[in-house]
A and B are shown apart, each in its own frame.
Chain A
Amino acid sequence: MTAQITAAILGVLLAGSILYLVRRDHLHGPYALWWLVVAVATLVLGVVPRSIDWLARLTGIAYPPVFPIIVGLSLILLRLLQLDIQRSRQERHLRRLTQKLAILEEELSLLRRLQSGPPVRPSATPAEKKPDTVN
């Protein structure tokens, strides 16, 4: 019976802290939903360990204790994959925003100079550009 109490305590603690974080707005939008599902799952599996045996029988897993391990690991892997996809997207956004910011900044300072003084210099047709790879 003690094992069941341990499992229940762990489940309740995890679910509780996730719920707390979601309520405090520390988790945003879709992540909150994901973690709420995780919270409910740990709560159910922790409080009613019999459900694991039932699920294992349902999925044809001969040794029920590995069921939560298999499911948990797969979900973690999927989540990691999704995280990296998101990180790549954010990296793309960050790079483009950085470039745009630099371009707009130059434009702004050019406009300021034109406004306050005589024209700086006329522009020719073909462009020349050189990324500074020294630094």
Chain B
Amino acid sequence: MATVVRGIVRALGCDVLVVNDASTDATAGIAQEAGARVIVLPLRLGAWGAAQAGLRYAVRNGYDLAITLDADGQHHPEELPALIAAHDAAGAAVTIGACPARLSQAKRIAWSYFRLLTGLTVTDFTSGLRVYDRRAIRALASRQASLLDYQDIGVLMLLRNKGLPIHEAPTAMSPRAAGASRVFSSWLTVFHYMVATTVLCIARVGGPVRAAAGGKA
């Protein structure tokens, strides 16, 4: 954790925010020590809930660019300058740091199924390494994005339906240093994920639907 934070600071010299998804271990303190700001969610919201908290932090503090990366060391901070350069060159709202080489056979099949279903031309749907510009940050910090569960297809479809360009840039990744994939841990969760995402895809096909009304949290 400390290595990741220090790596980012060394590579970009920017602010680092760590979102602690209601865990009680020492990670938050370590991150703070390494020079990151830490926000602690009082309730566990899952991967996307935590990422969105970070994006809302970015909106509130007026940042122009947000990068999300996993804290387990699978994304390399030293790849970030190249990724940002690719993002700027493409003029995209979101740039995904993709590493197709790490995908297993099962994932490849699943992803081509989702490509067919959504019409998105993305090779690495679940990569947590992403660069968002101001437009994407605004769109994803909205209430409309609050009921998503993963930072993957639902997020990309929302951006696509808002007409924001999506770009993908190849990058290097290492196997997770700690922890396991949330989605691909057992066949039951894989099945659940596939069904939930399929439903999401079908529900979102054909453009934006009026967002549910309600007070602002």
Contacts and interface: CB of A to CB of B under 8 A. Distances in A.
Contacts of B72: 133-134
Contact of A126 (B45, B57, B65, B146): B65
Contacts of A92: 143, 146-147, 212, 214, 217
A103 B214 contact: no
Contacts of A91: 147
Interface stretch (B36-44, B98-106, B112-120, B194-202): B36-44
Given A89-B212, A100-B56, A135-B23, A127 B39 contact: no
B3 to A, nearest CB: 12
B156 to A, nearest CB: 16
A129 B55 contact: yes
Nearest to A92: B146
Contacts of B67: 127-130
A134 B68 CA distance: 13
Interface stretch (A20-28, A48-56, A64-72, A117-125): A117-125
B58 interface: yes
A111 interface: no
Q: Which 6 A-B pairs have the closest CB atoms?
A: A96-B217, A127-B63, A135-B23, A129-B54, A99-B53, A131-B51
Interface of A: 88-89, 91-103, 105-106, 110, 121, 123-135
